[in-house]
Chain A
Amino acid sequence: MRRLPQYAALAAYVVFLAFPLLWLLSTALKTPQEMALADPTWIPREPTLANFTDAFGEQDLVGAAARSLGVALASSVVTVVISLPAAYAMARYRGLVNKIAIGWVLVSQVFPFILIIIPLFMILRDLELVNTLPGLVVVHVTFTLPFALWMLQGYVRAVPPELEEAAAVDGATRLRSIVSVVAPLLAPGVVATLLFAFISSWNEFMFALVILQNPDVMTLPLTLVRFTGPEGVARLGPLAAASLMATIPSLIFFAIIQRRLKSGLMAGAVKG
């Protein structure tokens, strides 16, 4: 009974978090007439799947989702693979180079995308990476890398160097101490960075819009925007149906990875 307020607060929070998803579901199942009611209904009076058939019939949503998933997975994994050793170096070797590197990371976050999109586009064109998914992965990694590096070096710093020194005393080489002692403690940080990079890439629109022209390589955000017209007018039903579908791959990814995040956090807590 004493926990009742806590449960109530938790329930309210869950409802708050679930609101966008429930609204999407409700909208996706409504007829155009019901969507235009001045007093919106939560539960569709005459549920219809027409919005789903329209959305899937008109656009290659499954293909676009598969491509987005591929790009987001590749971008997130490559980001972590590149940033992990760099983050270790930044955290453990302090000096002028380190300071410059950190400064670069911070400065790189200051530039607006629109400022660098044209030179970047020209570089990609010269590398014949325009209109290709690997080109988009390169761009996403480039833009995710600085923040991922920043995140990971914080996690590395949280691992006491004394643990590595203790391993060295026990005869472990530096590589061995990194692999056996530091890496397991970094698991939650790696997972969090993966999630960050995945979300950044999954949602990214502007670079994909500029780089991808061939309809056969377009990603999900480019496909979703096709349900919108000028001055904010949108085909709300098919857009909601398509957006709902677009959340599924990322939900699955999160469901898989969140267990690792949880166990990683626990491992870090015990060993710390």
Chain B
Amino acid sequence: MRIRSALAAAAIVALAGACGSGGGDGGSSSSSSSGEPVKINFLSLAWQKESVAANKQIVDEWNKANPNIQVTYVQGSWDNVNDQLVTQFAGGTAPDVIHNDSPALSGFAADGYLMDLKDKLPAELKGDIPQAAWDTVTFDDGKGGQGVYGVPFLQESQVIIANKKLLDAAKVRVPTAAEPWTWDEFSEAAKKMTKDGTYGVAWAMKSPVNKTLNLALNFGGTFFQTAGGKTTVKVGPEEREVLQRIHDQLHTDKSADPDALGQGTADPLPAFYKGKFALLPAGVYLRQQVAEQAPDGFEWVTLPGPKGTTAQQGAVSQTLSVAQDSKHPEEAMKFIAHFLNGPNQARLAKGDWLLPTSQAAASDPAITTEENGWDVATASAKNLVVAPFLKVNGFDEWKTKVATPVLQEYFAGKISLDDAAKRLVEEGNKVLERYQR
């Protein structure tokens, strides 16, 4: 009886507490005309300790300097942000300022959920970010023009994280930002490093699409083509180059660690520290984990990504957008302009171990130092070009339902490159067709 009474009391207290603490409407509420400060919700996806701290600090500084425009920092999660936004956009309660990445913007922009910022961008912010980065967030506005649906601020390039001891022992040429390895040199180096149970390279291909598509631009591989207003999947000689070379390392040269194939980006790190393989192609942000986790005495270096006919890589940007339903778009834009100014982008890039789009930020000594490979990482930004797949309506579904399983099967050696290409095209075009009706 006592238990039942206690539970009943707890429920009443909990409900009362819940009612008391659940205020707020979730949207931007007050207006400046009533004398109350304008309130803006900022959904941030920062998750690394230094990055969260930098985000919060910039928001705090803004709130202190701008008593009339108060920003509420809301931390979200990369894994769920799009599910969250779909619902909140439909319900008209999305945050005013939204952190996301450029591939996600195309669909939201097409559905009318994001504001076109083209005519709202302050000149200083617009001029500080190169056009190549703006291209990653520029999409068809549905009225025959092009709209800008976010401000790009952090970018990721592919580099190679190397075990310095094994690299030196192989006596191969150490690539530099000015003179990266060609893919042939990369394959030769991996072969030389493969001996005594040690592999030259490890390809973590649990999520193979972004990595391979971005690198495919080394040989001009775009994977999509548009003719007569219709976009189709294309897997020709240019697209096959990088796929074939990675496959060769795995199955012909046997210079790639087969255990890493099904792993996520960070999963091979324990084996890397143990010296099971020498080279780990990865996004620049993975340097943070290596710097934090590498055992004492483990020496590692950051090498630039390999070069094909060019060193170009596809760029994906992290972005800040304004919700179409925001009640305070002007104030939201002012906040974004401050949040992404040069000094602040340098802080954010350092916190996330990514590359700033801001030219002012890119010259910050903190992200051009040799320490932890910042110089190589920052230099790689010049090779980033807009990834063609970003513009393809239906890319996300193609990536999830077609490309991911097909590439996984191909790299696992279960199907041939011809089979993989056929499926990528035929099944892919069926997906794209639905988006182009």
Interfacial residues, chain A to chain B (CB-CB below 8 A): 32-33, 35-38, 54, 58, 67, 69-71, 73-74, 76-78, 114, 117-118, 121-122, 125, 128, 130-137, 194, 205-206, 209-210, 213-217, 225-233, 235, 238, 256-257, 259-260
Contacts and interface: CB of A to CB of B under 8 A. Distances in A.
Contact of B293 (A33, A117, A132, A134): A33
Contact of B24 (A118, A206, A214, A260): A214
A121 B264 contact: no
A125 B78 CA distance: 25
Contact of B11 (A74, A125, A215, A227): A74
9 contacts: A37-B273, A73-B10, A73-B14, A118-B91, A134-B22, A194-B7, A206-B80, A214-B24, A228-B77
B32 interface: no
Interface in B60-91: 72-75, 77-80, 83-84, 86-88, 90-91
A125 B25 CA distance: 9
Contacts of B79: 225, 228, 230
B21 interface: yes
Residue of A71, A74, A194, A259 most packed against chain B (CB within 10 A): A74
B78 A70 contact: no
Given A122-B90, A209-B80, A213-B41, A231 B264 contact: yes
A48 B342 CA distance: 37
Given A114-B83, A214-B74, 6 more contacts: A58-B52, A71-B14, A132-B18, A133-B22, A209-B77, A235-B47
Contact of A125 (B52, B80, B91): B91
Given A125-B92, A134-B18, A206-B83, A233 B7 contact: no
B281 to A, nearest CB: 14
B382 interface: no
Contact of A217 (B22, B49, B207): B22
Contact of B270 (A37, A114, A194): A37
B11 A209 contact: no
A73 B10 CA distance: 7
Contacts of A238: 49
B157 to A, nearest CB: 15
B368 interface: no
Contact of B47 (A117, A209, A226, A257): A226
B415 interface: no
Of the four ranges (under 10, 10 to 19, 20 to 34, 35 or more), the interface on chain B belongs to 35 or more
Contacts of B15: 70, 74, 78, 134, 137
Given A225-B79, A226-B47, A38 B14 contact: no
Nearest to B92: A125
B11 A73 contact: yes
Contacts of A259: 3
Given A133-B18, A210-B84, A226-B47, A231 B3 contact: no
B87 A35 contact: no
Cβ-closest 5 pairs across A and B: A132-B22, A133-B18, A77-B11, A70-B14, A131-B26
A124 to B, nearest CB: 8
A71 B7 contact: no
B19 A134 contact: yes
B229 interface: no
